[in-house]
A and B are shown apart, each in its own frame.
Chain A
């Protein structure tokens, strides 16, 4: 089944404790991206990657890091989480702009709480 898989789905952590949210897709998609969803603010793009070893900042990249060492994986790293990073996070992928196909396939979401 074609899908985007995120882990963990739920996480409660404390301020300053580094964490990684993993994202993996099995559709051979070139493009992957991360979003955070907050009430009243919609979805905001954190980072995106057009291909392996190519990453770019989205609208709200502060406090986050990403890497794209393999085509299928795009982990989101919070080096020193703070309470304002409490949010619902979505990973998404698509075939990529080069193919003319921009339809995003989203993962199920990861709800992160930073105390």
Chain B
């Protein structure tokens, strides 16, 4: 099956700086890559996603890039704010029904 690796496991940045989280996947059949944000004690919520026919997608301060050849995708958060502090999960889906998540990155934004 698919194997998704996520780095780093923890990340601390100063408010206003950028944060980058990286994921790699193993199954070349994966074609859908969502990112979920989970605040402490809350449920995961989608923040951005990308499909394999697109190399980059942006939504305000958040962007995701995908390199299919290298099988890796990254989340970029610019101008970080304290409310960005949370655990972020990447995921890969080869079928649209099976989802394989990374182990999560705990992001702390220091005011």
Contacts and interface: CB of A to CB of B under 8 A. Distances in A.
B36 to A, nearest CB: 8
Contact of A48 (B32, B36, B46, B97): B97
Contacts of B99: 33, 43, 45, 104
Interface residues of B, number: 25
B65 interface: no
B111 interface: no
B46 A42 contact: no
Interface stretch (A18-26, A63-71, A76-84, A105-113): A105-113
Contact of A59 (B34, B36, B100): B100
Given A42-B102, A104-B34, A50 B44 contact: no
Contacts of A48: 97-98
A25 to B, nearest CB: 13
Interface of B: 1, 6, 9, 32, 34, 36, 42-46, 49, 89, 91, 93, 95-104
Contacts of B49: 102-103
Contacts of A109: 43
A50 B97 contact: yes
Given A103-B46, A106-B43, A106-B44, A43 B93 contact: no
